[in-house]
Structure formats: structure tokens, C-alpha cells
Structure 1
Amino acid sequence: MKLLLLGATGRVGQHLLKLALAEGHEVTALVRAPDKLPQAEERLTIIEGNVLEAAKLMAATQGADAVLSALNTDGGELLSQAAPLLIETMNQCGMKRIITIGTAGILDSTAEPGLLRYQSSESRRTLTRAAEEHHRFYLALAQSGLDWTIVCPTYLPDGEYTGVYRIARNRLPEEGKQISVPDTAEFAFQQLQSTDFLAARVGIAY
């Protein structure tokens, strides 16, 4: 499979890259800092640029079968600005499948039905800007017609790989407190071969 990986130099993105290469996939990584990636991988193509550069994004998307995105908010409006361009580019390339890493804040609130967690008393964060950005990205995907899945970890320490965790559709598993980066990456990567969570947010936690 040919994959476009966004956010490849981030914590989750680095694990996604390792998993994809270990499984024999061909990966194109669109990154701002190519020097942070391995340079001698035969199946890795590195394109220097960012997701807001239309020509670079189109070049990276050509021939890909699916998108793995570990993009974060970058402290601003990267996700909401990137969403329409990414969706348009995928449509132009005839690609449907996208798996992204979100945040538990955009999962449905259990305590206050009709709200998302970041909008409810379930959130302990005083600042909601990052969650609002992920929310806008989620809404764009939900209206896109693409085959999307958003993996939504709660507190995300680097941690160790365990391979044992709980998941829930559109909600955080009950009493879920944290999940490691490698376990989050593994579950997201597995979704390439699964249709269980199409058009869904997936809460993941121990």
C-alpha cells in the first residue's frame, strides 16, 4: 500500500512511520524538517513542505492509497486551514481513506449529552483552543464524503507499548485516564485494514 503520512516528525507520527515501513508499505512524508527523518529508507519518499502548500500536498498525495495524519494544531489554526485543502486534494486524486489523530476532547460527553467532552464538565482544561481546532477538523471530515476515522487519545504520555487497551465509538472508555503514544499509533495504523470505525471518532485509553 502507498501511504501519505502527515506529521511524520511528531511523537505519534514517528511511530506510524516505523509501523508502515516495517509492514512493507511505501510512504511519502510531507514534512517541514526532512532532517528529522531517516534518509536511507528505500520505501520512504520525503517531500519538504507543509500541508498548506497546495502544490506540495498534491505531489505528496499522487498515487497514494490512504492518508495517515498525526498533525497537531501547531498552536494556531493549522488543522482548520488544512482541512479544505486536504479534502479537495484527496478528492482530486480519487482517494477516500483518511485516518487521523485527534483528541479526547472531541468525543461525545457522557455526563452532558449533546455536548462534546471539551464543552462539558468532563474537561479539566481551562484552555480549549486546541480542542476547538480538532473540532473544526472533525466537522470538515464529517461533511467531506471521505472514509474517515479519528483516533482520539486522552492524556498521551510517551509511555511503553503494551498492545492492551480499550476503545469506544465516539466516546472515551469508562474511567479512561491515559494511553501511550506507541499504543495509540498501533491502533491508528490497524485501521488501514479495518472498516469497523468508518465515519467515527474512536476513544482509546487503558
Structure 2
Amino acid sequence: MKLTVFGATGGVGQEIVRQALSAGHEVTAVVRDPARLPVQGERLTVVRADLGDPETVRPAVAGRDAVLSGLGPRSRKDAGVATRLTRTVLRAMDAEGVRRLVVVSAGPVGPEPAGAGLLDRAARGAISALLKDVYDDLREMEAELARSGTDWTSVRPPRLQNKPVTGTYRMTIAGFPPKGRFIGRADVAHAMLAAAADPATVKQGVGVAY
């Protein structure tokens, strides 16, 4: 497939690029600073773009089979960035007639896991309160997706870890894996690439966890 990756210098974004190239896909990585992307490959094109302007992003998404986004706030002070930058991506995609979009969000944005115990509910509530601004940003980002004309999927992980890709994790469409507390960034990238080719995930939030 021909893929465009936004947020390609982040932990999840780099893994998307690396795994997509390994799988034989043609990848366009959109970045602010190309020097921060250590991944290389014959099928990789690196594009520097201003994500504040949809017109500068349009060439990067034109003719793509799917767009994957690792964009999001890295801390509470970045709250608002996911919604703002995703709007740019959506407008560029709409202008170019590209429909498939997979983004990374967060587990607490979606529904509570089925059968969650008291401890899990308490932990979820505490984390949601601590990172309220971040999760409000991601909820608004997902609302933007729902209002758009794209065939979107929102992948919602719990706490992220730096671990090698395993390809072994639980995935729940329109829900979240019970007692799912961790997942590696590399496996989130793996799940996003899998979702891009899975029609069952279109217009769905997908919970992923070990």
C-alpha cells in the first residue's frame, strides 16, 4: 500500500514507518524536522510540512491508500494539539479525496472495559482526572473524526511502554480488553497497520492491550 504517516518522529510514529517499510509498503513520512527521523529505506519519502496549513499537507496525502497518524499531546502542556493538527490532516484528505485514516488515541477516551473491577475503575478514574486536559483533547479529536467523511479508526492503548514488537496483544472493537494496563509502542504501531487493512475497524474505536 501507499501510506502517509503523520507524527512520524514520535515513538509510535517511528514504529509505524519502520514496520510499514519492513512489510513492503511505500511510505511518506510527514515531519517538522527530518533530522529527528532515524528510519531510512528505499521506499521512504520524508516530507517537511507545516501542519497549520492544509494546503501544504495536500501533496503528502494525494494518491495514498491510507493515512496513519501518531499525532497527539506528549504532556498536559500540549493539550489541544491532537485536535488542531488532526483537523489539518482531515481537510487535506478531504481536498484530495483520500478516505482511510487510522489515528492513535487513548484507552480512557473509550468505554469502560466489560467486567471491570473496583480497582480498575478507580485507577481509570484517577488517571482520567490527572490527565483531563489531554483526554479532553483526544475526545474532541475523535469527535472531529466522527464528523468527517473519512473511513476512520481510532486505536486506543493504555499506558505505553518501550518494548520490541511482538504482534501478540488483545484488540477489542468498540470496547477495551479487560484488565488491559500496558502495551508497547511498537505493538500499537502494529495494531494501527493491521487496522488500516481491516474493514471491520472502519468508523470504530479499537482498544488494544496486552
Superposition TM-score, scaled by structure 1 size? 0.88
Alignment of 1:1-206 (within 5 A): 1-38=1-38, 41-74=41-74, 75-110=78-113, 122-125=124-127, 126-206=130-210
TM-aligned CA deviation for residue 170 of structure 1: 2.5
Aligned CA distance change for structure 1 residues 127 and 194 (closer, same or farther; 3 Å):
closer
Q: Which residue of 2 aligns with 1:114?
A: none
In structure 1, what is the Cα distance between the partners aligned to 2:113 and 2:198?
26
The one-letter code matched in structure 2 to 1:36 is R
Structure 2 gaps of 5+ residues are 115-119
- Are the counterparts in 2 of residues 30 and 51 from structure 1 also a CA contact under 8 Å? no
Q: Indicate the SS of the match to 2:45.
A: strand
| Equivalent pairs, count | 200
Structure with the bigger percentage of helix? 2
Q: Indicate the SS of the match to 2:200.
A: coil
- Counting aligned pairs with the same residue, the percent is 31
- Are the counterparts in 2 of residues 172 and 204 from structure 1 also a CA contact under 8 Å? yes
Superposition TM-score, scaled by structure 2 size? 0.87
TM-aligned CA deviation for residue 48 of structure 1: 1.3
The one-letter code matched in structure 2 to 1:91 is D
In structure 2, what is the Cα distance between the partners aligned to 1:188 and 1:61?
17
- Are the counterparts in 2 of residues 107 and 172 from structure 1 also a CA contact under 8 Å? yes
Q: Indicate the SS of the match to 1:16.
A: helix
Deviations 1:162-191 (A, max 9, x none): 222112122221111111111111111112
- Are the counterparts in 1 of residues 54 and 91 from structure 2 also a CA contact under 8 Å? no
In structure 2, what is the Cα distance between the partners aligned to 1:184 and 1:42?
24
TM-aligned CA deviation for residue 85 of structure 1: 2.5
- Larger deviation: 61-70 or 163-172? 163-172
Q: Give the 4+ runs in structure 1 shifted more than 3 A.
A: none
The one-letter code matched in structure 2 to 1:61 is V
TM-aligned CA deviation for residue 110 of structure 1: 4.8
Q: Indicate the SS of the match to 2:138.
A: helix
TM-aligned CA deviation for residue 25 of structure 1: 1.5
TM-aligned CA deviation for residue 33 of structure 1: 1.4
Structure 1 gaps of 5+ residues are 112-116
Deviations 1:123-173 (A, max 9, x none): 322231111111011001011121111110001111233222112122221
TM-aligned CA deviation for residue 98 of structure 1: 0.3
Aligned CA distance change for structure 1 residues 91 and 106 (closer, same or farther; 3 Å):
same
Root-mean-square deviation (Å): 2.1
Aligned CA distance change for structure 1 residues 152 and 146 (closer, same or farther; 3 Å):
same
In structure 2, what is the Cα distance between the partners aligned to 1:197 and 1:61?
21
- Larger deviation: 147-156 or 75-84? 75-84
Aligned CA distance change for structure 1 residues 179 and 139 (closer, same or farther; 3 Å):
same
- Are the counterparts in 2 of residues 170 and 202 from structure 1 also a CA contact under 8 Å? yes
